[in-house]
Structure 1
Amino acid sequence: MKNRLVFTCVACISFVVAQHSIGAQTIDWKAIGDEAIKLLQEYVRIDTSNPPGDTRKAADFLAAIFEREGIPVTRYESAPGKAIVYARLKATTSPAAGKPIVLLHHMDVVPADRSQWKIDPFAATIEGGEMRARGALDMKSLGVAHLMAFLTLKRQHIPLVRDVILLAEPDEEIGGAMGARWMIANHFAELDPEYVLDEGGFGSGDLFAPGKLVYGVAVAEKKILWLKVRATGVAGHGSQPHDQNPNDRLLRALARLLAATEGASPAGHESSLVETMKARVGTLAANKFTNAIQRSTIAVSWVRSGVGDPPRPSQRHRHPDADPVRHRLERLPAARRQELRPLPRHPLRGDRRLDARRRRARADRRRQGIGADSL
């Protein structure tokens, strides 16, 4: 854990300044590592689970450190409880060589189901040299590495050819509308960066040798494509299931989408670097992190359905046909294709004229104050 923090801290400093700028500096990296561990434990113990995503205590923690170090700090609040921390070190050369570098991390974490943890997820327990806690990896450890790099630049009076900004934001775990996107929309002039260092690889353990960390050099990113699928149906009561339940349609559609890329590898790369690496290092496929970068993947990450208890599912949005879904899937790299066809109309659904008569009858009953569930 300490080695990862120090390594990331060194990488940040090296990116920010030219090598000759720190050549004459005597930096006690062991002391930095010890301080980083202490700060990380304190930071992780602040529960910033999202929802609700209250980051005010975490912002207090970071702001107090900056104030103690004599670094100007600004706090924003994009929404009640959504605190943002902004600190800036000015370039020591005039004029600056370029726009600022932003060290960016998010303070919120996904909730932890304590019943599924053997230890308190917010106790910052260290076992076998590793911290086991919610937020230790995603992404308070990187936040502390950024913080230590930032403090080291200030403490060692390292010459800066451009401004360096540390930005800690909320709301990342649920889309970032009140975090990074809010800052861009409302305070971009205070940022306007040339480079942003954000979360990424954390090193892969035991990949080449037991107990050894490997950090890859990223030359490209695996791209992301967000898809939203809506299914419509007839509302009803949970005690009276019927054949027009949108949940059933959605489950079938999602199953087909997941099957479309199961086991697929990037098209056109069978003899490329990926295949060469797979042949030399068999553990690439066994490691869940390196396995995912070798192929196209689909993950169902968010599902919502129905209102009431028991729920009465009835989305009133249009269900997209298969064409745009297939079009997007075909643009994903995959060695194996699977034809996607629209789901057939249910044989019991009836014709359009009958459906129209039923809709008119339901509308008449509503006007007369008769609930559909009472019939």
Structure 2
Amino acid sequence: HKEDNGDIYARGSQDMKCVGIQYMEAIKKLKSENKTLVRTIHLSYLPEEELDGVYGMQKFVHMEEFQKLNVGYALDEGYANPTEKFSLFYGERTVWRFFVRCSGQPGHGSQFLPNTAGEKLRKVINSFLTFRAEEENKLKENPGLKLGDVTTLNLTLLQGGVQFNVVPAELSVGFDVRVPITEDLVE
């Protein structure tokens, strides 16, 4: 929705709308000033960032239509900045998203059952969040490091259980991990 004064409000599938709108406004300004550029500017807006572009951009770059664009340089979303400065990120971290599934002894919630999925899940979560705290401390304690120099890890999903009085046979936890390009992924 665009207000009479030019303010735009939106919600939905486009991540980083503020940056996308800034790109459109920049092009609008270039056109109004009759600027002639060496190359054509193309904007693409895709709704599937969380899927890593599998059904959109990854397929599009292999199509003839994309090849005809003769892309010389590409910018990803970036961050909004209220000043005249523009932040440039030159190293994209590797994204790992995964589930850890723990199975164990199911039963009634009124008992102390041995070897439950919940006990195993707690150990997994503790281990991952300990690593997260170590990486966060590394960033805090070394002023020369930036966010892109450390691994970020966040617990983002928990799944399992059917009702309060039943100990489930399986529980799952999902993590979103961003690994710096300087890390050895095999290690």
Q: Common fold, TM-score beyond 0.5?
A: yes
| Alpha-carbon distance between aligned partners in 2 of 1:304 and 1:184, rounded to the nearest angstrom | 34
AA of the residue aligned to 1:314: E
- TM-superposed deviation, 1:191: 4.8
In the alignment, is residue 223 of structure 1 matched against residue 93 of structure 2?
yes
Residues 217, 232 of structure 1: alpha-carbon distance in 2 compared, 3 angstrom cutoff: closer
AA of the residue aligned to 1:264: N
In the alignment, is residue 300 of structure 1 matched against residue 155 of structure 2?
yes
Q: RMSD value over aligned CA atoms? A: 4.1
Residue aligning to 2:6 = 38
- TM-superposed deviation, 1:239: 3.5
Q: Which has the higher contact order (CA 8 A, sep 6+)?
A: 2
| Alpha-carbon distance between aligned partners in 2 of 1:157 and 1:215, rounded to the nearest angstrom | 24
Residue aligning to 1:264 = 137
AA of the residue aligned to 2:170: S
**Any stretches of 5+ residues in structure 2 without a counterpart?**
173-178
| Alpha-carbon distance between aligned partners in 1 of 2:80 and 2:74, rounded to the nearest angstrom | 17
Percent of aligned positions with the same letter in both sequences?
17
Residues 220, 170 of structure 1: alpha-carbon distance in 2 compared, 3 angstrom cutoff: closer
What are the within-5 Å matches in structure 2 for residues 16-27 of structure 1? none
In the alignment, is residue 314 of structure 1 matched against residue 185 of structure 2?
no
Contact kept? 1:201, 1:215, Cα under 8 Å: no
SS at match of 2:43: strand
- TM-superposed deviation, 1:142: 0.8
Residue aligning to 1:244 = 115
Residues 235, 153 of structure 1: alpha-carbon distance in 2 compared, 3 angstrom cutoff: farther
* 1:140-182, Cα deviation, whole Å (9 max, x unpaired): 1111111112223334332122121111111224544444334
Residues 179, 161 of structure 1: alpha-carbon distance in 2 compared, 3 angstrom cutoff: same
AA of the residue aligned to 2:77: E
Residue aligning to 1:198 = 76
Q: Between Structure 1 and Structure 2, whose CA radius of gyration is higher? A: 1
SS at match of 2:44: strand
| Alpha-carbon distance between aligned partners in 1 of 2:32 and 2:21, rounded to the nearest angstrom | 16
**Any stretches of 5+ residues in structure 1 without a counterpart?**
1-34, 54-106, 109-138, 206-212, 276-289, 317-327, 334-375
Contact kept? 2:19, 2:78, Cα under 8 Å: no
Residues 299, 147 of structure 1: alpha-carbon distance in 2 compared, 3 angstrom cutoff: same
Contact kept? 1:234, 1:244, Cα under 8 Å: yes
Residues 179, 237 of structure 1: alpha-carbon distance in 2 compared, 3 angstrom cutoff: farther
Residues 148, 293 of structure 1: alpha-carbon distance in 2 compared, 3 angstrom cutoff: same
Contact kept? 2:78, 2:88, Cα under 8 Å: no
AA of the residue aligned to 2:159: S
Residue aligning to 2:175 = none
